[in-house]
């Protein structure tokens, strides 16, 4: 028998996507042994090795890569077709998989997910908090929520959530010890705590705007580079340098005097987040419903 079953191909695609048998087994609620047997069954039926495996790692063979690239879009189309049938019967179900930056959670995403889950109880939701770009073709993610600086190529983008007020902050102790800059460009001579998008060489820009002039960015002198907002705030409070952060989570520390803001009138808000997806054709009903709800909040 040459043809592999639909269920077997689902298992193969998940192993390739998760880059491991155990991870795929966890995602599919199967045993690792069952997943391994399925891959062996497919390879036996096709008469070709799809996955090279050792005790430490696994990798796709060239044939495995080709099968994965051909299988994943077909499975996605079938999943969308089944979802559309359910929609015709007034049922929106399945699993909605999202990738989002951690910063979006307290601003609006938690609220959207809570309301969506209440409105569509048959939909399961998986949110992977990650600031890196994701490959929407191979990752299994339905949509990626990102800031303007991280739009995925060749995707549709819909604005959701509020505009984001930013602030430049430092502790009183740091300013007393190092002096207060007179203008944004002076920040190049000061220590800073910078946010990195996954890699240390991909830093979030510090943007400023003067009246009747074009906005510009300042490249600070990084003393600490992190990819976590809470750590940035803690390091700024500890007097380790300036931080360019979202204003909402630092308001209590401004009120208490632990942090001081500078150049408030020269810091423009960031645009809204966007939700990025591959195509409107065969969009799962659950994703369409999520986008429609997110745009209203």
Instruction: Tell me the mean pLDDT in the region 173-181.
Output: 96
pTM: 0.62
Q: Is the pLDDT of residue 1 over 50?
A: no
Q: pLDDT for 82-99, tens place per residue?
A: 666 655 556 788 889 999
How far is residue 98's CA from residue 145's CA, in Å, rounded to a whole number? 7
Q: 222 or 64, which is more confident?
A: 222
**Which residue matches tokens 């047997």?**
37
Q: pLDDT for 110-123, tens place per residue?
A: 999 999 999 999 99
Question: Largest Cα–Cα distance of the chain, in whole Å?
Answer: 77
How far is residue 20's CA from residue 22's CA, in Å, rounded to a whole number? 6
Domain positions in the chain are: 6-70, 92-162+272-294, 166-266
**What are the structure tokens assigned to 79, written together?**
């999943």
pLDDT at 239: 97
Task: Provide the pLDDT confidence category of residue 280 given band limits of 50, 70 and 90.
Answer: low
- Hey, do 6-70 and 92-162+272-294 end up sharing a CATH topology, with the first three levels equal? no
Give the CATH number of domain 6-70.
1.10.10.10
- In the chain, pLDDT over 70 holds for what percent of residues? 87
pLDDT at 114: 96
Write down the CATH superfamily of domain 92-162+272-294: Periplasmic binding protein-like II (3.40.190.10)
Q: Is the pLDDT of residue 21 over 50?
A: yes
Choice among 95-109, 140-154, 228-242 with the minimum mean pLDDT: 140-154
Write down the CATH superfamily of domain 166-266: Periplasmic binding protein-like II (3.40.190.10)
> Bridge-partner residues for 53, per DSSP?
58
């Amino acid at each position: 028998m040459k043809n592999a079953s639909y269920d077997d191909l689902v298992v193969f695609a998940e192993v390739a996507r998760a880059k491991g048998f155990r991870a795929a087994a966890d995602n599919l609620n199967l045993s690792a042994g069952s997943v391994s047997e399925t891959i062996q069954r497919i390879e036996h039926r096709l008469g070709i090795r799809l996955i090279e495996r050792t005790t430490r790692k696994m990798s796709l063979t060239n044939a495995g890569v080709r099968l994965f690239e051909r299988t994943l879009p077909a499975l996605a189309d079938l999943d969308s077709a089944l979802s559309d049938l359910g929609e015709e019967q007034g049922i929106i179900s399945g699993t909605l998989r999202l990738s989002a930056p951690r910063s979006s959670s307290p601003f609006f995403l938690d609220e959207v997910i809570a309301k969506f889950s209440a409105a569509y109880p048959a939909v399961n939701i998986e949110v992977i908090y990650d600031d890196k770009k994701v490959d929407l073709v191979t990752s299994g993610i339905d949509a990626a929520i990102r800031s303007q600086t991280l739009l995925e190529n060749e995707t549709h983008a819909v604005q959701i959530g509020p505009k984001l007020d930013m602030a430049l902050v430092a502790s009183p102790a740091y300013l007393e010890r190092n002096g207060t800059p007179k203008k944004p460009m002076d920040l190049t001579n000061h220590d800073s705590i910078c946010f990195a998008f996954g890699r240390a060489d991909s830093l979030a820009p510090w943007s400023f705007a003067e009246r009747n002039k074009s906005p510009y960015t300042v490249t600070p002198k990084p003393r600490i580079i992190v990819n976590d907002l809470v750590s940035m705030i803690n390091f700024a409070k500890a007097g380790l340098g300036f931080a360019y952060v979202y204003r909402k989570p630092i308001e209590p520390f401004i009120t208490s005097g632990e942090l001081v803001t500078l150049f408030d009138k020269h810091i423009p808000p960031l645009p809204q987040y966007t939700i990025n997806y591959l195509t409107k054709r065969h969009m799962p009903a659950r994703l369409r419903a999520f986008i429609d709800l997110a745009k209203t909040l």
